[in-house]
Structure 1
Amino acid sequence: MPDLSDRQRSQLETFVTAVEQSPHNLVSRQAKADLRTRHLSESLRFAHGLPAGPRLLDVGSGGGFPGIVIAVVRPDLRVELLEATGKKATFLRNTAKNLGLPVIVHHGRAEDLARSELRGRFDLVTARAVAALDRLLPWTMPFLRPGGELHAIKGARWREELEASDRALGSLGAVVVETPDASHDVREDGPFVVRIVRSST
C-alpha cells in the first residue's frame, strides 16, 4: 500500500479484519477470501483515481468496499455511504466510528432516498457491484448536482451494459465522458471504471 501514512495503513488493516471477523454476511465467501488481494487493492486504485469533490456518496456500500477505503485514503472528500441492508448499514456506521472517520451512513434504498433531501446534493457518486448500468443510472444520477459525476466500477461486460443504457442515459440527462478503453490507468485486472456526468437539472 504505497503512499499511505502509518495511520491509514492501520485503519485499513483494522477495517479488513473487521470484515473478516464479522458474523454477518457482509461479503460473499469468495469475496472474503479475496479481501486483500482483490477488493482492497481495487478499492485503493479506484480511490486514488477520483477527482476532488468535495462531497461524495457511495451507493450500495455493502461491506465498505470502496466507501470506507475512500474515506480512509481521501480525507479531502466528504464521504457519505448509502446501504439498504440494516446489518450492513450498522456495520458501516460502527466501523467509521471505530476508525475515527467523519462518515455519514444513510440506511435506505437508493430509489427512495433519491427523492429525499439528498437529491442533487453530491459532486461525486460511486457504485461498485450494485447493478447493471441501465438499472444503476436511475438509482444514482438523481443524487448528483448538475455537472456531478458517477464513477461506476464495472466488470468485464461493461461494454454490453453501456450499450443497453442508451435510453436511461438520454432520459436522465447523463453523458458518458470516460470508459476503460479511454483511460491510461486501466489494468488488466481492473477496476473498469465508467465515468458519467449529469449534464442537466
Structure 2
Amino acid sequence: MESLTPRQSDALEAFTRAVETSPHNLVSKLARSELRTRHIPESVAFARGLPAGAQRLLDIGSGGGFPGLVVAIVRPEYEIHLLDSTRKKADFLRDAAARLGLAVTVHNGRAEDLARGELAASFDLVTARAVASLERLIPWTLPFLRPGGVLHAIKGERWSEELAAAEPVVRRYGARVVATPNDADTAAADTDGGPSPLVVRIARPPI
C-alpha cells in the first residue's frame, strides 16, 4: 500500500498531540510514552492490512482512538463508527474527530446493550484492540457483524492461548477463524519499519 500522504501524516501528528495533552486518563503512562514508537505505527500497519474497498466498520472499546481514529485517517474510504462505554473517552473521540475533520460516528454505551439495537448485524468489519480476551470479546462483537462479516482483533503475544480458550465460544456462534498471526497476510508490513500487529480474524457465518 502507498505511503501516507502529507495530510495523513499531519493528521496523525495532530492526533498524537491530542492524546498526549488530554487531561483525561485515555491511556496509561507507559502507553503515552510509546505513542510514537508503538501505538501509532501499529495502528497504521493494522489499518493498511484491512480489506480493500468501501467497508462499514465499527471499532469497539475505542478508548483513546486506537485503532479507530487512526483507521479513519489512513482509510478514508471506510464508514467508521467508534464505540466506548466511558463518556469522557467518547467525548474525546468526538472532539478529536471534529478537530481532524474526520467523518466518524461515536457511540457511547455498553457493547452488549448497543448490539441489541439498530447497530446489530450492520457492519462489514468490527475491530478491537486490547479490549478483552477472545472468549469475552466474541460475544460482544459478533452480533454487530453482518452475515459473513469479520472481527479483526489485535491481540498480544498470548493470542494462541486466548484462541484455544475461546474455541467453545467460536463453535457456539457458528463462527470461523479465518486468519491468525501465524498467517503471512494477517499483519501488514509497515513501510516505515514500525511494529506490525498480531491480528486474529473471526468471521460470522453467512446466512
TM-score class, shorter:
over 0.9
1:106 aligns to what SS in structure 2?
strand
Q: Does 2:33 align with 1:27?
A: no
Rounded to whole Å, the distance in 2 between the matches of 1:130 and 1:160 is 16
- 8 Å CA contact 1:47–1:69 kept in 2: the answer is yes
1:137 aligns to what SS in structure 2?
helix
Q: Does 2:202 align with 1:196?
A: yes
Rounded to whole Å, the distance in 1 between the matches of 2:72 and 2:186 is 21
Tell me which residue corresponds to 1:158.
159
1:70 aligns to what SS in structure 2?
helix
Tell me which residue corresponds to 1:138.
139
1:5-28 Cα shifts (integer Å, max 9, x gaps)? 111111111100000000110000
Structure 2: which 5+ runs fail to align? none
- 8 Å CA contact 2:46–2:196 kept in 1: the answer is no
- 8 Å CA contact 1:59–1:125 kept in 2: the answer is yes
Q: Percent identity?
A: 60
| More moved, 11-20 vs 183-192 | 183-192
RMSD: 1.5
Tell me which residue corresponds to 1:14.
14
Rounded to whole Å, the distance in 1 between the matches of 2:59 and 2:167 is 23
- Shift in Å, 1:172: 1.3
Tell me which residue corresponds to 2:122.
121
**AA paired with 1:13?**
E
1:41-74 Cα shifts (integer Å, max 9, x gaps)? 0000000000035100000000001100000010
Tell me which residue corresponds to 2:179.
178
1:106-145 Cα shifts (integer Å, max 9, x gaps)? 0001111111100000000000000000000000000000
Query: Normalising to structure 2: TM-score of the pair?
Result: 0.93
Q: With CA pairs under 8 Å and 6+ residues apart, which has the higher RCO, 1 or 2?
A: 2
- Shift in Å, 1:156: 0.3
- Shift in Å, 1:183: 2.2
Tell me which residue corresponds to 2:44.
44
- Shift in Å, 1:171: 1.4
2:182 aligns to what SS in structure 1?
helix
1:104 aligns to what SS in structure 2?
strand
Rounded to whole Å, the distance in 1 between the matches of 2:124 and 2:186 is 22
1:130 aligns to what SS in structure 2?
coil
| More moved, 16-25 vs 50-59 | 50-59
**AA paired with 2:200?**
V
| More moved, 64-73 vs 47-56 | 47-56
Aligned length: 200
Rounded to whole Å, the distance in 2 between the matches of 1:57 and 1:182 is 24
**AA paired with 1:147?**
G
2:160 aligns to what SS in structure 1?
helix
Rounded to whole Å, the distance in 2 between the matches of 1:61 and 1:106 is 10
